[in-house]
A = this chain, B = another copy of it.
C-alpha cells in the first residue's frame, strides 16, 4: 500500500459529483481534510473481516473482490466491485466491525474518509444523507439480487450469469481479461474450481465463448443469454 496526497485530483473526481455534489464549501473542506488516498497492489487486503471500521472508502481506480471466509478457510465471494462502487458502504452503518473482507484484484486506488467526518456531514446535510441512504440501499439490493439469481440456477446458468455480468457490468465488452483465477470464479458462483472449468470448456467446445488463458470472448451472446434464462 502506498499513500498519496494528490489533492488536485479531487477537483475532477467523478465521485465528487456523484456523492458529494450536495455539499457546501465548508463541508467539502471537511471531507477533503479527512481524506487520504491509498494505492493497493494486486492481492493486497484493503479491508479485513472482523476488523473495526473507521473510515468510508470509495474506489477510484482498479477492481476489488468482496468476500467472506468460512471456518475451513474457504473464501466465498459476494461481489466484484469497480470504480464508482462504495466498497464498504454495505456495512459501515450496521456494525462497528466489518462482516467481510475486501481485496484488490488489480492495482487499486481508494479514497478513505474518516467515518466520524462522514457522519458529521450526514447529520448536517439532509440531501447528502438521502443520497447516502440511496447508495447503501442500492448496494445491498445488488448483492442480494445477484446472490439470489446465482443460488437458484445450476452450474451452466451460473457460469452464463457471471460471464454476462463481467461482459455487461464490469467490462462493457464482449472480450475481456479476467483478473481472477478459476478458483475465484468458482467462489463467486458457489461452485468448485473443477466444475467451473469444465463448464467453461464445454461452452468453448460449443462455440459459445472463446478462451485463451484469462482472456475470454463471448462469441454467441444470444445462446449464452438463453442459458442464463433457462439454466
Contacts and interface: CB of A to CB of B under 8 A. Distances in A.
B76 A136 contact: no
A91 B141 contact: yes
Nearest to A148: B68
Interface residues of A, number: 38
A229 B138 CA distance: 32
Which of A78, A122, A134, A141 counts the most B-chain CB atoms under 10 A from its CB? A141
Overall SS of chain A's interface:
helix
A204 interface: no
A112 to B, nearest CB: 19
A41 B228 CA distance: 37
A95 interface: yes
5 contacts: A94-B137, A94-B140, A99-B145, A140-B141, A140-B143
